[in-house]
Amino acid sequence: MKLLNDLNKRIQQIASVRLWLLLTLIMFGLGYAMTSSISPSAELMSLAGGRNVPDTQFWRSADSLYSQLTDYGAHGRRLYLTRVSPVDLFIPLAQALFLSVAITLLFRQVFQPDSAWQLLNTLPFAAMVGDYLENASIVSIIVVYPNRLDALAAAFFTAIKFIASLASIGLIILGVVIWLMNKGKK
């Protein structure tokens, strides 16, 4: 609990609209880097019969991942390691900060400063940890391919990332709804 309290306090200290706007620009930039013509995503999807990159697959079995890596071939696996993975070093942290600052700014408006609700601004960091563990798992699997690491290949960390991310977005929506309801009462 001390870790959550310390993280909450740090986020409370740095959270500002200006920081959130900067993080929004960073998120757009990283999104562009992952989806634009400079990204190998389209080529990887083509190699894998239309399947998106593994870290976007919420439900995935070990066999499905290994099938996809086989479809990638040596060239596709190298593309993943050299062009997808480096960008994905920044996305989890940027996204966690982006969501956390948004939650903090909204929850400041709708809950008392000492409310336990304020601690929920730390939830995006659970998504970040899940994302980094997912990325490390996929890289490890590719590095030892064709040897199998089935325990790492299932989408467990991906599920943590998605669930915590979606819950964080839900908190933002909740904050907006409560803020609008409070505005309506005034």
For 34-48, the pLDDT digits (tens) are: 877 777 888 888 888
The reported pLDDT for the residue numbered 117 is: 96
Q: Band the pLDDT of 172: cuts 50, 70, 90.
A: very high
Q: Band the pLDDT of 96: cuts 50, 70, 90.
A: very high
Q: Which domain holds residue 79?
A: 2-185
The reported pLDDT for the residue numbered 17 is: 97
The reported pLDDT for the residue numbered 36 is: 77
Domain count, the chain: 1
Smallest CA-to-CA distance from 164 within 135, 118, 102, 122 is with 122
pLDDT average, residue stretch 68-75:
95
pLDDT average, residue stretch 148-160:
91
For 2-58, the pLDDT digits (tens) are: 999 999 999 999 999 999 999 999 999 988 888 777 778 888 888 888 888 888 888
